[in-house]
Amino acid sequence: MEINSIAKGLKPESELKSQARPYFNHSVEFKRKFSATERAAKLEEVGLNVFSYPSEMVTGSDFLSDSGTTTMTNEQWAALHQGDEAYGSNRGYFLLMEQIRQTFGGDFASKNPNMPNAFLFHQGRPGEDALFTAIGRLGDGLIIPSNGHFDTTHANILANRMHPKNLFSHELNDPNSKSFFKGNIDLNGLEKLLHESADKIPVVYLTITNNTGGGQPVSMVNIKETAKICGKLNVPLFLDACRFAENAWFIKKCEPNYIGSTIPDIVREMFSYVDGFTISFKKDGLANMGGGVFLKENGLFIKQHPGIGNALMDHQILKEGHPSYGGMSGHDIMALVVGLRQVTDESYLTHRINQVKAFGDAMLAYGIPIITPVGGHAVYVDMNRFAPGLKPGDFSGISFTAILLAAYGHRACELGNFSFGSYDPKTQKEKFPRMNLVRFAVPRLRYEKQDLEAAAEAVSEIFKARDDLPAVDVVYGKELPLRHFKARFKFRELVKP
């Protein structure tokens, strides 16, 4: 009998409950051991601020960020060795520009030396700083609308005396909504805002996927419609493109008409509608470092601001280094070239996003309230439903993340009342954001199913004891900008053993 005819009688591989990962471990790091008592003592020493807690003492999984935490592939490690650390025009720069053209479209890295339009930076935020410094000089009272600005993007806009404005979709806050694209911008809100104040809006932003809005994707229809509205009023459209490949996967799987398209084709279509983008390559670049600003050659933004390319280059030279490395090392550039090529592999993306979904499903099975459907890179716990007994100023997310780290060794990150709230010393009042979340960001290619299951179980134990979750008081830094990175806290009551 032939093997094929025997195999034909069996259940197909794709229908099995568990699928093998489309990769295997290339090298691993053993964790050091720390007891719950040692972890608690260290947390108290750092004022319950999980950012200040040593990562070597994270004995569980580190969900603080999916940024720069990617496990690199063997091809990336091999490419790293080919890094050329020349001060000017290193080998990797040319390869990267070619990869940018292939991934995002030919007009985002011009071959015309008189038309600089691709600008490298050492990560995402210095690129945002350069762009918003240039835009901020254009006038007073400018507004930058978005489907959800990330915290550093928000801060860079504010630092340049402009106003960030989030136009979240209505579905985002609706637990009953079955929308796959809760990351969309509110198109009616945008149209109204543009009609009222287009002259005050230098650019509209779409963050794909919407990190601040639960990591939810943005549909192609929403990108197209946003571009149409912006086009009518002559306002350029940009993407904050950190998680472009994950967003493209959702478009393929959830949006009619794209099921037969390849991920690279979907990516190029997404970018064909916009006039520029900023990106941190620490996410879907699969790289540990890197970022950039890319302006479409002959796009509306460049046409409106012909001097912007030179302003960005001056910024690079003053603050980052020669524009051909823009603050990145030659070996990081080489690893990024490979990462950008590999990240659009569909079987990798399917595994990645299903892994994050399974993590969310494990939490749901314990009854833990999370934002659904689960987005591409993280599971977000809704603290207002997790600990309804605590008041907004009790900062339940800070309390929960500290207890999780002390008791079970997993590190997650509050993105809610403390991180996105603010304290006004004049009125002595706190202002709270619409959502009060704790994010479990899943690093790429790093953890296995059992790591995520262990974390879900740990969260469920704290959820069971949620009525005992103590409030925290801010003992330092409540009035500071970007306060979540700097503040210190203490529990209002002692944690019960």
Minimum CB distance to ligand F0G smaller for 150 or for 395:
150
Instruction: Provide, rounded to whole angstroms, the least separation between the CB of residue 289 and ligand F0G.
Output: 8
Instruction: Provide, rounded to whole angstroms, the least separation between the CB of residue 232 and ligand F0G.
Output: 26
Beta bridge partners of 145: 165
Q: What is the 3-state secondary structure (H, E, C) of 226-283?
A: HHHHHHHCCCCEEEECCCHHHHHHHHHHHCCCCCCCCHHHHHHHHHHCCCEEEEECCC
Minimum CB distance to ligand F0G smaller for 67 or for 401:
67
**324 binding ligand F0G? (CB under 6 A):** no
Minimum CB distance to ligand F0G smaller for 65 or for 110:
65
Minimum CB distance to ligand F0G smaller for 65 or for 355:
65
Mark the segment that binds ligand F0G (CB under 6 A) among 35-43, 147-155, 198-206, 246-254. Answer: 147-155
Half-sphere exposure of 155 (CA within 13 A, CB side): 16
State the DSSP string of 329-393.
Answer: -HHHHHHHHHHHHHTT-HHHHHHHHHHHHHHHHHHHHTT--B-SS--SSEEEEEHHHH-TTS-GG
Q: Are 146 and 204 in contact (CB under 8 A)?
A: yes
Mark the segment that binds ligand F0G (CB under 6 A) among 22-30, 91-99, 145-153, 424-432. Answer: 145-153
Under DSSP, is residue 175 helix (H, G, I), strand (E, B) or coil?
coil
Instruction: Provide, rounded to whole angstroms, the least separation between the CB of residue 439 and ligand F0G.
Output: 8
**291 binding ligand F0G? (CB under 6 A):** yes
Instruction: Provide, rounded to whole angstroms, the least separation between the CB of residue 492 and ligand F0G.
Output: 28
Instruction: Provide, rounded to whole angstroms, the least separation between the CB of residue 217 and ligand F0G.
Output: 13
Rounded to 10 degrees, what is the CA torsion of 376, 360, 398, 437?
60
Q: Determine the residue with CB nearest ligand F0G.
A: 124
**173 binding ligand F0G? (CB under 6 A):** no
Minimum CB distance to ligand F0G smaller for 125 or for 182:
125
Minimum CB distance to ligand F0G smaller for 252 or for 282:
282
Instruction: Provide, rounded to whole angstroms, the least separation between the CB of residue 443 and ligand F0G.
Output: 10
The site for ligand F0G, by CB under 6 A, has a size of: 16
Both tokens assigned to 252: 């393929």
Residue whose entry in the numeric block shows the structure tokens 């419609």: 225
Residues 95-134 that bind ligand F0G (CB under 6 A): 123-125
Instruction: Provide, rounded to whole angstroms, the least separation between the CB of residue 291 and ligand F0G.
Output: 5
Residues 46-65 that bind ligand F0G (CB under 6 A): 65
Minimum CB distance to ligand F0G smaller for 212 or for 399:
212
Which residue in the set 70, 76, 147, 211 belongs to the binding site for ligand F0G (CB under 6 A)?
211
Rounded CA separation 385/435 (Å): 11
φ, ψ for residue 125, nearest 5 deg: -70, -35
Minimum CB distance to ligand F0G smaller for 250 or for 463:
250
Task: Tell me which DSSP letter residue 420 carries.
Answer: T
Strands 237-240, 422-424: pairing kind:
unpaired
φ, ψ for residue 17, nearest 5 deg: -65, -40
User: Pattern of binders to ligand F0G over 212-241, x per CB under 6 A?
Assistant: ----------------------------x-
Which residue in the set 153, 166, 216, 316 belongs to the binding site for ligand F0G (CB under 6 A)?
153
φ, ψ for residue 409, nearest 5 deg: 80, 10
Minimum CB distance to ligand F0G smaller for 211 or for 417:
211
**146 binding ligand F0G? (CB under 6 A):** no
| Burial zone of 455 (CB within 10 Å; 0-12 exposed, 13-18 middle, 19+ buried) | buried
Instruction: Provide, rounded to whole angstroms, the least separation between the CB of residue 280 and ligand F0G.
Output: 3
Instruction: Provide, rounded to whole angstroms, the least separation between the CB of residue 426 and ligand F0G.
Output: 30
For 416-425, b/e burial (b = at least 16 CB within 10 A) is bbbbbbebee
Which residue in the set 252, 282, 410, 478 belongs to the binding site for ligand F0G (CB under 6 A)?
282
Residues 425-454 that bind ligand F0G (CB under 6 A): 441
**154 binding ligand F0G? (CB under 6 A):** no
Minimum CB distance to ligand F0G smaller for 110 or for 153:
153
Q: Are 423 and 395 in contact (CB under 8 A)?
A: no
Q: Are 217 and 247 in contact (CB under 8 A)?
A: yes
Minimum CB distance to ligand F0G smaller for 110 or for 216:
216
Rounded CA separation 213/404 (Å): 23
Strands 204-207, 429-431: pairing kind:
unpaired
Using alpha carbons only, what angle is made at residue 361 by residues 444 and 25, rounded to the nearest 5 degrees? 30
Minimum CB distance to ligand F0G smaller for 420 or for 463:
420
**242 binding ligand F0G? (CB under 6 A):** yes
Both tokens assigned to 305: 């601001």
Which residue in the set 76, 147, 207, 247 belongs to the binding site for ligand F0G (CB under 6 A)?
207
Could you tell me the strand order of the sheet in which 143-146 lies? 118-121, 291-295, 276-280, 237-240, 204-207, 143-146, 163-166
Residues 64-93 that bind ligand F0G (CB under 6 A): 65, 67
Q: Are 291 and 127 in contact (CB under 8 A)?
A: yes
Under DSSP, is residue 33 helix (H, G, I), strand (E, B) or coil?
coil
**150 binding ligand F0G? (CB under 6 A):** yes
Residues of this chain that interact with ligand F0G (CB under 6 A) are 65, 67, 123-125, 150, 152-153, 207, 211, 240, 242, 280, 282, 291, 441
